[in-house]
A and B are shown apart, each in its own frame.
Chain A
């Protein structure tokens, strides 16, 4: 069943850019953890980049506050940190921490498989039931480990951020 989206026809078996690479809710997760990781890697990357740009401006505040507001830079830094100790900012920090703590371990898995070429199994003749060799190779176990490590580290980060 094809449907119109932004002037382009999107077929169900060939989803467009948004559905296939940036929307985690449209991923069929059954026996598809690599696709889940692919979409999460992109979404968390966006979250981290948005934070990074804001973080660079924030950490420059001791410098630019002197120019813009003519105040003591470090006094202004403490003022900003006071604002950021509020609950809304802590929730934001928790979301960014979750993004980083998924993106980094999954990035290490991608480095190992794509850059160093390990954990992807040996190529061979396809035989029924035609399961790709990469799906039975070590990278699949590493991916499950990434999900476990992510949740454990995110809980620890939550304890640090909210206490």
Chain B
């Protein structure tokens, strides 16, 4: 399995970091109560509030999940490749990276696609 050039993988790490600043910033602001006219953070986590988030910003939350997964898993992948070197070891780490990424990206996609309607 090809791992790509180290430099190009690192560039993707920077690109995802730039995207995360905006996407995660927005996601965190969703939990700040006084922005939304409520008094506690728990009120921003009610089913009605969260469902509204998904309806209006589902695509952004999905993009955030993909970008954060890539950035986080690729960071750990880089650290694991520092630990030791070897063709088999590198291939194993790369395979694990893609397996975990695809599984969790699929779960995140399922959340947005199959979300039940709020009663």
Contact = CB atoms under 8 A, between A and B. Distances in A.
B47 A52 contact: no
Interface of B: 14, 17-18, 20-21, 24-25, 28, 31-33, 40-42, 45-47, 50-51, 65, 68-69, 72-73, 75-76, 79, 82-83, 104, 107-108, 110-111, 114-116, 118-119
B119 A49 contact: no
Contacts of B46: 78, 81
Nearest to B17: A107
Contacts of B83: 17
Contacts of B73: 49
Contact of B107 (A42, A56, A100): A56
Contacts of B17: 107, 110-111
Interface residues of A, number: 35
19 contacts: A52-B68, A53-B104, A56-B69, A56-B104, A59-B108, A62-B47, A62-B111, A72-B116, A72-B119, A73-B116, A74-B47, A75-B47, A81-B42, A100-B24, A107-B20, A110-B17, A111-B18, A160-B31, A161-B41
Contacts of B110: 60, 63
Contacts of B116: 62-63, 66, 72-74
SS of A interface (majority) = helix
A25 B75 CA distance: 22
Interface of A: 17, 21, 42, 45-46, 48-49, 52-53, 56-57, 59-60, 62-63, 66, 72-75, 77-78, 81, 85, 100, 104, 107-108, 110-111, 114-115, 160-161, 163
Contacts, number: 82
A54 to B, nearest CB: 10
